Structure 1
Amino acid sequence: MRIVSLNAWGGRVHEPLMRYLGEVEADVLCLQEVTHVAGHDGGWLTFREGDFELPQRASLLEDVTAILPEHRAFFAPAASGPLYDGDREVASEWGLATFVRQGFPVIGQVQDFIHGDFPVSGFGAHPRPRNAHGIRIFRHDVGSAVTIVQMHGLRDLAGKGDTPARLAQAHALVGLVEKIWRRGEGLVVCGDLNLLPGSETFPILGRLELTDLVTTRGFADTRTSWYPKGGRYADYLLVTPDVKVERFDVVAEPEVSDHRALLLEIG
């Protein structure tokens, strides 16, 4: 089974992203920062926050769904807020999307917030709400199930250091995992955690016997040249001892976002 996790950055690097997702042959694709505008006919809108602007692919969820016709799509919005077409506001949703290849039965599913809750109006104040989505998949090839949970960790304007909110988020994530995962089966937790490697989040997740593959396998950068700042860690992928890792890579090329894709193959 091949699992890919990637912060899609709202589809900012759209053509390379679509090409990569169409070619990578992921059985399970976990995407963060996925935009969705109901009824929109494609094209680009703009996210604005103060003087900051970022192009966003209005139909990113539909674009990925179209190039993966053999997959089922699960969308978990974390927030709803305005994007802009010129000066016109367009209501949008933003969150996680999980794509599962047909032939891998989804026999369990959980989705909930691990920081905050769905905002009543707009995207909300920082640190904004964050959610997680988990699926339990039966593998006919090995006769057992594996649970895959993805998340997008909260962003704090002060940086990636530990805060009470981040530690509470870690405990909430453990609680969400325990709702779906059965001990003795494999567990994969992945996503843009927005953390430094020394975070207390990792010992908390270690209570589930999870070990991070990014740091323990010598990868020191999960960002691409689209990201000009320091602090090059953001994305992580953790597994339990029950997961038979055949291959793991932090994909340097092609660059399809300001984050690198994480690629895991399990036996």
Structure 2
Amino acid sequence: MTLRIVSLNVWGGLLHEPLMRYLVDIDADVLCLQEVGRTADAQSEWLVYRDHGVELPQRANLFDEISAALPAYDAFFSPTARGDLFDGDRLIPSEFGLATFVRKSYPVIGQASGFVHGEFSADGWGSHPRSRNAHCIRIFDYEGGFPVTIAQMHGLRDIEGKGDTPARHTQAKALVELIRQVHQGDERLVVCGDFNVLPGSVTFDALSTFGLFDLVTSRGHRDTRTSYYRKEPRYADYMLVTSAVEVIAFDAVAEPEVSDHRALLLDLR
């Protein structure tokens, strides 16, 4: 038996129908999702994010929709902020952040969630670069007889680009400290997400303290974006593992396109 982990920035659910179909059909054991929304008072399925002339549709309750579609999973939501979305001219406070789904046959035996940049904003999205968080879980594989630690992060977005900055140095250190709260010894460790950095970033130097290495770049993948993303560079998403992880298969999934990011899919033992 293998354990399947999928990491994906879901783009607020903009490509809702193919996204939902993919999340069900891919049959992952752990889903690490970024850019997930949850809105308590929404009366519409779609809301609109507006910021400095940009308008982007968002699924109002994507977290609840995925939870309903995956009843055999434990669901965890880690918001970074609550800000306003629009239903026409009506302002609707909405939460936005990370979601982690774990098949119930894999017990969660440890976890930690925290901010790697900034702090929770309850009264608006905040100024750029906005707050970011990470979620780390430790699960047990009954069939394999071993624990696995899995951490995901949505790295801060800097309007100047994806190069290293003092804030990204601090973010990398914060991610390492969060993982240390959960990870035990030399057991299997997987770290993934939309890091918003380039290959060679200090982020990877920090994570190398665990013996982690990246599967995207080391296996020759040059693109983690889909055709919906038309800018350069094409790197954003990464999945790192330690040598204790036996990689059965890995892919930066080109099709189906369910976001402007590709899903990263790992089968491991």
TM-score band by shorter chain is: over 0.9
Of residues 217, 222, 225, the one that matches 2:224 is: 222
Q: What's the offset of the Cα at 1:18?
A: 0.5
Amino acid at match of 1:59: N
Moved more, 253-262 or 194-203: 194-203
Q: What's the offset of the Cα at 1:208?
A: 1.1
Q: What's the offset of the Cα at 1:40?
A: 2.8
Aligned to 1:146: 148
Aligned to 2:80: 78
Aligned to 1:103: 105
Aligned to 1:31: 33
Structure 1 Cα separation of the partners of residues 43 and 179 of structure 2: 36
Aligned to 2:166: 164
Q: What's the offset of the Cα at 1:81?
A: 0.2
Structure 1 Cα separation of the partners of residues 237 and 13 of structure 2: 17
Taking structure 2 as the reference length, the TM-score comes to 0.98
Which 4+ residue blocks in structure 1 deviate beyond 6 angstroms?
none
Of residues 132, 135, 145, the one that matches 2:134 is: 132
Contact 1:42–1:59 (CA under 8 A) maintained in structure 2 = no
Moved more, 158-167 or 194-203: 194-203
Taking structure 1 as the reference length, the TM-score comes to 0.99
Contact 2:30–2:103 (CA under 8 A) maintained in structure 1 = yes
Q: Deviations over 1:180-217 (max 9, x none)?
A: 00122100000000000021111111111110000000
Aligned to 1:12: 14
Counterparts of 1:143-222 in structure 2, within 5 Å, are 143-222=145-224
Q: What's the offset of the Cα at 1:42?
A: 5.0
Q: What's the offset of the Cα at 1:49?
A: 0.2
Aligned to 2:235: 233
Q: Deviations over 1:2-33 (max 9, x none)?
A: 00000000000000001101100000000000
Any unmatched runs of 5+ in structure 2? none
Report the secondary structure of 2:179's partner residue: helix
Q: 1:21 to 1:57 in 2, by over 3 A?
A: same
Amino acid at match of 2:221: F
CA RMSD of aligned residues (A): 0.8
Contact 1:79–1:122 (CA under 8 A) maintained in structure 2 = yes
Q: What's the offset of the Cα at 1:121?
A: 2.2
Aligned to 2:71: 69
Q: How many residues align?
A: 267
Percent identity between the two aligned chains: 61
